[in-house]
């Protein structure tokens, strides 16, 4: 069963920051139309953004607004 929740303020801030850096326009109230759904990603904290009133099965890839590669540990790339 899906465990949807409201987006946390830090998640909203991060998404808005990344969208601004990518020059990707967001509606002022975009976060009111989405719920967060945790992903099984080994504890990394990833979430799916699901539009209100839709199921995860209906989700389609629309846009990727940002990607970052970090060097961690033994200088292995981490995306």
Domain ranges of the chain: 9-78
DSSP string, 19-77: HHHTT----TTGGGGEEEEE--SSSS--EEEEETT--GGG-----------EEETTTEE
Q: For the segment 5-51, what is each residue's pLDDT rounded down to a tens digit? A: 899 999 899 889 888 888 888 999 999 998 888 777 777 677 788 88
Q: For the segment 60-73, what is each residue's pLDDT rounded down to a tens digit? A: 666 666 666 555 56
In angstroms, rounded to a whole number, what is the distance separating the alpha carbons of residues 50 and 58?
A: 9
Cβ proximity of 48 and 11 under 8 Å: no
Instruction: Provide the whole-model pTM.
Output: 0.68
In angstroms, rounded to a whole number, what is the distance separating the alpha carbons of residues 34 and 31?
A: 5
């Amino acid at each position: 069963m899906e465990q949807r929740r409201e987006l946390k303020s830090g998640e909203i801030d991060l998404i808005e920051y990344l969208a601004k850096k990518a020059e990707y326009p967001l509606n002022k109230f975009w976060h009111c139309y989405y719920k967060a759904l945790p992903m099984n990603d080994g504890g990394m904290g990833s979430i799916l953004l699901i539009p209100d009133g839709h199921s995860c099965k209906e989700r389609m890839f629309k846009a990727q607004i940002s990607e970052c590669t970090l060097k961690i540990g033994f200088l292995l790339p981490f995306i």
